[in-house]
Structure 1
């Protein structure tokens, strides 16, 4: 298959590219490499894919990988550039598109709302239009567990009402699901939304709590623990997320016998809710250091607990994430020490 991966320099996008390349697919990665967090990490991921920093500096130029010359190419562009996207779709004729590009971060959306409208709404609209106009068979896209808002019913199911997001980031992700539903209904192509639950692991995002905790503990600084530590998350290891994405890309919604329509949304989580303090303990154990904790109140836009019901994923794709948190944290800490030469 020929697959477009947007957000290819991002955490999930990078790992997805690697997996698809390993499976023999032809992949084109796309990313704007914005400075929401350290761009050196993004360039580092691309270098792992065989794209040099010099080659990834220019916008709107398709660059061949030195590591995978026959099945990976990269272009730096913005999803808001509809004209360039249309030209790319017309020339490459993708079988599937996996849209993992987005302006991420719940708290950042409170301070910088326009970035979310530009990337997550206008950018996603451009992707939908290109899929419609250039006969893409299947669009897979990143949604988020944040769409559940203050839902008190546990575990979260995709059939739950998600009409009350509590951050603009969550609102844009819910909007993506509604937009995808409309395009599937009107234009007859498959769309699959994936609600990711607290993804962590090697090459992760530096703005995520587990990354911030690790960095602070190593530097003997205090960590900020919100809601006085009374929080729980369905922490999902990156390899489990990617296996789910790749299964859905390769199998395809149309080939899934249980799927009755072109539009689907799935939770991808570890199907467990882990106490934040236990997660911090796993980091401490792997570092051999104790954290200095600054206990703080709840932050705007945050939720107390998340937990994914993944029954639909099991039924349709015979797949369930399963990496234990202790193993996932160990793998992350090992990568962190190697990457930062600690």
Structure 2
């Protein structure tokens, strides 16, 4: 199969590219390598993919995409987005990169790739709101610009599916971590600050937050399982995460144990838009995709620490 992955130089996208290629598929990536976080990290991921023969188009999804679709794809995994909950990111940036970019990609698909087997939209548990502890039938109640615009993007995709113009599904991910995790995310930042003995900014109340911390390898296994099941998942929204729940405090303790160091805490005021609790309800993923997360938090964090030490402490 020929597969397009958007956001291919990012954390999850790069792992997905490698997974799909390992299954024998022809994989093409697209990424604008924006500067939301250190572009060097994305360049590093792109280099890892290039070594495996996976090409990345360096283009913005809001631009003309005709060149990308010169040869048709069987599947598209749409991961590219303006991520995170950040006070410094404007609503316009979220709308441009999550809503308009998705719409432009969809229009290109309809024009240049009408026989696509499936458009797999990558959504987020943030659409559920303050507590993401429910199944896919419960109405979304986002409380952040990120969650709101990702929900809008999801509905753009599913709107085309409902009108019969596109086969598509949307996968809502839960608290993904592992090697290549973004630098401002919990565990990469935690590992860095522990290694260099730097104070770690901890938002008030966040140590009690409960999360379905899900290892990236489990996530990409679930995403890859969609191939060949496009009729089964057509029109579906599916949660993808783990039902192993840990608090932020427990996550910090695991990394401290692995690195045999004690974290220096820099206490910060509460952060607006933070979820209090996520607990992935993954019955549908199990039923439709045969999905079963296998990696424990300790095992996954050991891999992430090993990756960080190999890449950034030579």
The two structures have a TM-score, normalised by structure 1, of 0.87
Q: CA separation in 2, counterparts of 1:45 and 1:33?
A: 11
For residues 86 and 187 of structure 1, do their structure 2 counterparts lie closer, same or farther at Cα, with a shift above 3 Å needed? farther
Q: 1:189 — aligned with what?
A: 166
* One of 154, 159, 166 as aligned partner of 2:143: 166
Q: Quick check: 2:211–2:248 contact (8 Å CA) kept in 1? A: yes
Name the CA distance, whole Å, in 2 between partners of 1:92 and 1:285. 49
Residue pair 2:241, 2:293 contacting (<8 A) in 1 also: yes
The structure 2 residue matched to 1:230, chosen from 208, 216, 220, is: 208
1:144/1:173 contact within 8 Å kept: yes
SS at match of 1:166: coil
Aligned counterpart, 2:157: 180
Deviation at 1:112, TM superposition (A): 2.1
Alignment correspondent of 1:30: 30
Question: Which residue of the partner structure matches residue 102 of structure 1?
Answer: 81
Q: 2:223 maps to which residue?
A: 245
1:143 counterpart SS class: strand
Contact 2:121-2:157 at 8 Å conserved across structures: no
Query: Matched residue pairs, number?
Result: 311
Further displaced range: 37-46 or 188-197: 188-197
Aligned residue for 1:7?
Answer: 7
For residue 141 of structure 1, the aligned residue among 97, 121, 128 is 121
TM-score (norm 2): 0.95
Determine which of 278, 290, 300 is the counterpart of 1:328.
300
CA contact (8 A) 1:113 1:168 kept: yes
State the alpha-carbon separation in 1 of the partners of residues 9 and 286 from structure 2.
29
Asked if the contact 2:62/2:105 (under 8 Å) is kept, the reply is no
SS of residue matched to 1:339: helix
Equivalent position of 1:210 in the other structure? 187
Offset of residue 49 of structure 1:
1.3
| Native 8 Å contact 1:15 1:242 kept in 2 | yes
**Matched residue SS, 1:102:** coil
**Distance in 2 separating the partners of 1:179 and 1:74:** 25
**Distance (whole Å) between structure 1 residues aligned to residue 212 and residue 52 of structure 2:** 35
Counterpart for residue 77 of structure 1: 59
1:111 aligns with 2:111: no
Alignment of 1:132 with 2:110, yes or no, is yes
In structure 2, the residue corresponding to 1:289 is in which secondary structure? Answer: coil
Residues of 1 paired with 2:67 and 2:230: CA distance?
Answer: 26
- Give the secondary-structure state (helix, strand or coil) at the position aligned to 1:263: coil
CA contact (8 A) 2:158 2:169 kept: no
Contact map agreement 1:5 1:28 (CA 8 A) in 2: yes
Q: Please state how far the C-alpha of 1:338 moved relative to its aligned partner.
A: 0.7
- Could you list the per-position Cα deviations for residues 83-109 of structure 1 after superposition, in whole angstroms to 9, with x for gaps in the alignment? 2x13422x111111111111111125x
Q: Give, in whole Å, the separation in 1 of the partners of 2:268 and 2:208.
A: 10
CA contact (8 A) 2:133 2:277 kept: no
Alignment partner of 1:267 out of 239, 247, 266: 239
CA RMSD of aligned residues (A): 1.5
Question: Does the CA-based 8 Å contact 2:117-2:230 persist in structure 1?
Answer: no
Residues 138 and 252 in structure 1, CA contact (< 8 A), matched pair in contact too: no
Q: In 2, Cα distance between the equivalents of 1:338 and 1:184?
A: 43
**Deviation digits for residues 175-211 of structure 1 (CA, Å, limit 9, x no counterpart):** 1121112100223421111111111101111010111
